[in-house]
Chain A
Amino acid sequence: MGILEVKDVGIRFGGLQALSNVNLSVAENTVHAIIGPNGAGKSTLLNCFVGKLIPDTGSVMFDGQSVLGRAPYEINQMGISRVFQTPEIFGDLTVLENMMIPCFAKRDGAFELNALPNMMKQKDIVERAEQVLEEMNMADKRHEHAAAMSRGDKRRLEIGMCLSQEPRLLLLDEPTAGMARADTNNTIDLLKEIRDRGNITIAIIEHDMHVVFSLAERITVLAQGTPLVEDTPENIKGHPKVREAYLGESA
């Protein structure tokens, strides 16, 4: 049994069958990549894991519990954190404040009317946030406005915010899309580091083959809303169906 079990998931948008018969099992503490051409349904599938979309058919189980019908914040509280295709951070807040918010969510749950204490005097939260910033090599930016940072830094911050919650499953949707080569390599290194630290399952959607082959232990190829094959990176590289459906197109 994987930590994430997807069974017979299908979803339709008007006349378009965006996903059909998706079966997928992500084993605990592995990196699982989902690849496929543009429009294959990768983001749609990921949105079914986090409460943004509810599939018409099938089930999505996380650690034995269904996630379907739950709000995004509830699913996060179950232990799933998500990184977006374009970094979603709190642009008006400082980097440190950005990092403190997930720490509060982890400590206090989905809502807490903590309206009188000074937030900077919440020692445990500030310490934890500083520690993660340190790990992300962003400590020197702690008082910067998040919106003013480079895209690579925003991505780094967003990943850090997710990690500060010590999620059991980290979902990434094309984390290097639109990034310069240097930023992409930095992100790969960061993700490798996270993977090697262990105790985390990562599911990553990616278009960039370089990223996928340097990180993933298993790869699922999605084409036109259905999984084509699932295998190790070595086997995927040589797979004729994959070459035809995907690699042939971009290589």
Chain B
Amino acid sequence: MFGLDKKDTTLLLVVATLTILAPFLLNPFPTASGMAQFNAGYPDLMQRFVIFGIFAIGFNILFGLTGYLSFGHAAFLGVGSYAAVWMFKLFTYNVIPAIIMAVIIAGIFSLLIGFISLRRSGIYFSILTLAFAQMSFALAYSVLSNPKFNLTNGETGLQVYADDPQRFHHDGLPDLPHLFGLSMRSTYTMDVGAWSFDFNAGYYLCAAIMLGVFYLAVRIFRSPFGMMLRAVKSNQTRLNYTGLNTRPYTLAAFVISGMYAGLAGGLLAAMDPLAGAERMQWTASGEVVLMTILGGAGTLIGPILGAGFIKYFENIFSKINDNVLHQWFSFMPDGIENFMVFIVHPFVGKGWHLTLGILFMLVVIFLPGGLVDGGQRIGKWLRSRRGQKEDKTSGTTTPAE
């Protein structure tokens, strides 16, 4: 279906089902229960899941296929956000032009940076992208924000003010980003017994776009172009002596992934009409690297899993404080309870990075293929247990799931 083989179609349908049902799946605990804090089904976080999913899917086209590790992709995300907010300021709160402009501007920007950075490979390429991203951050944070020429509004961040032109804005339209009048914040809340589920317009817009670009990524992975990118990673020398020019291939991959990042940035602004320089900082670039590696670089579904995983940690683990811990361990004798809280404390709340770091190390050491690798191992183990009597039929593996 859709020009995909059976396996890829199944994957696409599974991802589609999960994203559509996300408001249910992410809110498994009754609102009033002690576990409710682990619910992730609120609009803001669900939007982040899919937006950073898009970011990571695009990053994976560059890093997963060609092996070129960019440490500056947050710059494109940031540029996308700024472009979108400017569209809001100048023309309209409708998100469509904003998103399109975010992708275009990020594309141009990544063409420029990619053209220069791709003159080098390996660590030098990574350092060049990092340098460019930090320069972009500095530009956004201070240089391009002065009374004479204020493109980014510096520290405060770019936002829409009442005296902005907004040429095509008129009464009757929401005073917030909208899709032809449908506000991105409009949410329908469904209460079922003790449970509560949120269906948010912004989330479903992002989810639909993510499914679209995920489908596009699958097509790219299976195309001759995708194979060339894998060949770049495998053996550039052979590729050159086989009559193929590696530079335009890597540049195309770079620009495509830059446009994915710009799209993600545009969507962030469409959900919340703000753009700040911190979005371009190197920690943000590092985060997408972590997402991709954690999920499984070079696999189709890995980056989405990695993005979800990290965003969940960032938002849920970071909210566990000592009060919550005391509740958890309250069944224990006082002394042991305090001791347990003392032990666990550094790993939750503000310490969530610590837990994430440990998890990341464990994954990289024991599951070099990321979470997808883990899933495959479990799957293989289950199958070998179930199929011990049956003959082993297919032993071949496909390189990219």
Contacts and interface: CB of A to CB of B under 8 A. Distances in A.
Interface of A: 50, 71-73, 76-77, 81-82, 84, 88-94, 97, 100-102, 104-106, 108-120, 122, 125, 143, 145, 161, 165
Nearest to B251: A111
A16 B243 CA distance: 31
B327 interface: no
Contact of B243 (A73, A92, A118, A122): A73
A125 B228 CA distance: 14
B222 interface: yes
Given A91-B234, A113-B252, A118-B222, A97 B227 contact: yes
B248 interface: yes
Q: Which of the listed residues B240, B241, B242, B399 has the most CB atoms from chain A within 10 Å of its own CB?
A: B242
B240 A72 contact: yes
Nearest to A116: B219
24 contacts: A71-B240, A73-B240, A73-B244, A77-B243, A81-B242, A88-B235, A88-B241, A90-B231, A90-B234, A92-B399, A93-B230, A93-B399, A100-B224, A101-B227, A104-B224, A105-B242, A112-B225, A115-B223, A116-B3, A117-B223, A118-B3, A118-B222, A119-B224, A119-B226
Nearest to B4: A118
B245 interface: yes
B103 to A, nearest CB: 16
Given A73-B243, A112-B224, A143-B396, A88 B231 contact: no
A91 B241 CA distance: 15
A92 B234 contact: yes
A102 B226 contact: no
B225 A88 contact: no
A50 B223 contact: no
Given A93-B231, A122-B224, A143-B396, A111 B240 contact: no
B222 A101 contact: no
Contacts of A101: 227-228, 231, 239, 242, 244
Interface size bucket, B side? 20 to 34
A71 B228 contact: no
A187 to B, nearest CB: 18
Contacts of B225: 112-115
Q: Which of the listed residues A77, A81, A93 has the most CB atoms from chain B within 10 Å of its own CB?
A: A93
Interface string B195-231: 0000000000000000000000001101111111011
Given A111-B248, A115-B225, 11 more contacts: A72-B241, A90-B239, A91-B234, A97-B230, A102-B242, A115-B223, A116-B219, A118-B3, A118-B223, A125-B224, A143-B396
B262 to A, nearest CB: 18
A7 B241 CA distance: 23
B399 A114 contact: no
Nearest to B256: A115
B235 A114 contact: no
A123 B238 CA distance: 24
Interface string B1-23: 00111000000000000000000
B237 interface: yes
Interface string B336-352: 00000000000000000
A117 to B, nearest CB: 6
Contact of A116 (B223, B231, B242): B223
B233 A92 contact: yes
Contacts of A117: 3, 223-224
B24 interface: no
What 7 pairs between A and B have smallest CB-CB spacing?
A: A76-B243, A105-B243, A115-B225, A110-B245, A90-B234, A92-B234, A114-B224
Contacts of A122: 224
B124 to A, nearest CB: 20
Nearest to B232: A90
Contacts of A111: 244-245, 248-249
A212 to B, nearest CB: 23
A39 B166 CA distance: 73
Contacts of B227: 93, 97, 100-101, 104, 119
Nearest to A118: B222
B226 A76 contact: no
Q: Which of the listed residues A71, A92, A100 has the most CB atoms from chain B within 10 Å of its own CB?
A: A92
Interface in B360-401: 396, 399
Contacts of A143: 396
A89 B238 contact: yes
Nearest to B240: A72
Interface in B242-267: 242-246, 248-249, 252
A143 B399 CA distance: 10
B267 to A, nearest CB: 22
